[in-house]
């Protein structure tokens, strides 16, 4: 009897240890089991709708900002809701990303859960998977950033996470750092492989460091370490059996506050879209863009925060894209329609007629105007993109040691 009990205890400990090891190293959480797996559709496409800066308040009781005098008496948060509903119906996205400042903040409400329910309602009612990250205003009510992400995570169809399962390894800063893996469609040999990787990050609100009064926060070293580890792990998985791939799967980053590199673009010839205000980025460049360039997989960073900027511009192979403001309660510009950004990835066909790896990624914007206009369609990336060769000098006649 004693021997049986001892074996049972050892077996139980081993089982728990194996589960713990898997959760901490395999990037799988117990919460992930039973969740909907994102994958390309049978047409070889995956479409993402980015909605930024809704600044949702109390629904029909909330007045609009920066609309014409004729619109003002009849305009409210419900205009934002209507815009999302018509866009979801038109675009039929596979995933909706709410990229921060989803609710108004500024101590406007003492029931932010109710505001979030209304803000996310079009996505929930559509049955389409959706995720959210936080902006600098979201927590300015009766919930902390952690509490908000825990609430968002539990809403219907939400694939949001408070933080990754291995967050403890990096003592990761913030709440709402996570990775989504988009796998191949049914019938594809890449059915069990992630062929498009999304990284969603908490860019914080305002820095708490002395000497930086009312300055925006930045992506911390702990978050960059988590991104680098996750990126390398996904690359290894992409290149291993079965159906090993020669290249790395492309990646997209969603982050509310734009990185300082967004400020480098001011000429219309450098961008697709417009700049109508300065880039409100952190006062410190934490080096996240450099990390992305070093890894070489991310082809686009998609931000919000600056409502009347909506451009895309390319820097060192990475597209830096604003979404433009979607919400009527947040500031805008009279005569300049609220808008959202769409990103669509298209797979290539293999020689056997099956869907293979990602071939192209393109983007466009939808406006909340009379015609629900689709503007600024552009190709962000293609698999056949070739970079300039590095002709760095090396001396082959002198041996190195």
Structural domains for the chain: 45-382 (3.60.21.10)
pLDDT on residue 170 = 85
Helices 145-153, 112-126: axis angle to 10 degrees equals 30
How far is it, in rounded angstroms, from Cα 173 to Cα 164?
Answer: 11
Among residues 107, 180, 173, the alpha carbon closest in space to that of 138 is found at: 107
Copy the structure tokens of residue 257. 């506050």
Concatenated DSSP letters for 244-274?
--SSPPPEEEEESSPPGGGGG---GGG-BS-
pLDDT on residue 393 = 54
In the block, tokens 């863009």 appear at: 289
pLDDT on residue 399 = 72
Q: Which helix (H) or strand (E) holds 348?
A: strand 339-349
pLDDT on residue 27 = 46
In the block, tokens 């308040």 appear at: 57
pLDDT on residue 167 = 83
pLDDT on residue 351 = 83
How far is it, in rounded angstroms, from Cα 43 to Cα 41?
Answer: 5
Copy the structure tokens of residue 387. 């970079």
pLDDT on residue 401 = 64
How far is it, in rounded angstroms, from Cα 218 to Cα 213?
Answer: 14
Contact 221, 268 (CB under 8 A): no
Contact 103, 115 (CB under 8 A): yes
Per-residue pLDDT of the chain in tens (401 residues, 90 and over written 9) = 555 555 544 444 344 344 334 433 444 433 444 467 999 999 999 999 999 999 999 999 999 999 999 999 999 999 999 999 999 999 999 999 999 999 987 667 779 999 999 999 999 999 999 999 999 999 988 899 999 999 999 999 999 999 998 888 889 999 999 999 999 999 899 999 999 999 999 999 999 888 887 799 999 999 999 999 999 999 999 999 989 999 899 999 999 999 999 999 999 999 999 999 999 999 999 999 999 999 999 999 999 999 999 999 999 999 999 999 999 999 999 999 999 999 999 999 988 889 999 999 999 999 999 999 999 999 999 998 655 555 555 666 677 66
């Amino acid at each position: 009897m004693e021997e049986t009990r001892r074996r049972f205890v050892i077996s139980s400990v081993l089982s728990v240890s194996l589960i713990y090891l898997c959760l901490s190293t395999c990037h799988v959480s117990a919460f992930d089991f039973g969740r909907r797996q994102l994958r390309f559709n049978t047409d070889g496409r995956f479409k993402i709708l980015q909605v930024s800066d809704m600044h949702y308040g109390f629904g029909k009781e909330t007045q609009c900002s920066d609309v014409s005098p004729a619109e003002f008496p009849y305009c409210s948060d419900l205009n934002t809701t209507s815009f999302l509903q018509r866009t979801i119906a038109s675009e039929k996205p596979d995933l909706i990303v709410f990229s921060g400042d989803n609710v108004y903040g500024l101590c406007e409400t003492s029931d932010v859960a109710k505001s979030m329910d209304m803000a996310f309602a079009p996505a929930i009612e559509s049955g389409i998977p959706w995720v959210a990250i936080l902006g600098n205003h979201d927590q300015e009510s009766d919930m902390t950033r952690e509490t908000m992400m825990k609430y968002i995570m539990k809403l219907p169809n939400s694939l949001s996470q408070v933080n990754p399962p291995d967050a403890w390894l990096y003592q990761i800063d913030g709440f709402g750092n996570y990775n989504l893996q988009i796998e191949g469609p049914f019938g594809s040999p890449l059915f069990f492989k992630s062929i498009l990787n999304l990284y969603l990050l908490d860019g914080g609100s305002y820095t708490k460091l002395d000497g930086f009064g009312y300055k925006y926060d930045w992506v911390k070293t702990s978050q960059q370490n988590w991104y680098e580890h996750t990126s390398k792990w996904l690359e290894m998985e992409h290149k291993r059996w079965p159906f090993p791939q020669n290249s790395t799967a492309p990646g997209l980053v969603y982050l509310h506050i734009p990185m300082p590199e967004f400020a480098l673009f001011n000429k219309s010839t450098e961008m697709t879209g417009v700049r109508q205000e300065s880039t409100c980025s952190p006062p410190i460049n934490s080096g996240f863009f450099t990390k992305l360039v070093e890894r070489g997989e991310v082809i686009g960073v998609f931000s919000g925060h600056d409502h009347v900027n909506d451009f895309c511009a390319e820097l060192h192979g990475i597209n830096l894209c604003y979404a433009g403001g979607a919400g009527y309660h947040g500031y805008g510009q009279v005569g300049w329609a609220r808008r959202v950004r769409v990103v669509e990835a298209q797979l290539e066909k293999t020689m056997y007629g099956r869907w293979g790896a990602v071939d192209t990624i393109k983007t466009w914007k939808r406006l909340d105007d009379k015609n629900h206009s689709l503007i600024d369609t552009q190709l962000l990336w293609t698999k056949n993109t070739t970079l300039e060769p590095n002709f760095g000098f090396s001396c082959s006649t002198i041996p190195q040691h």
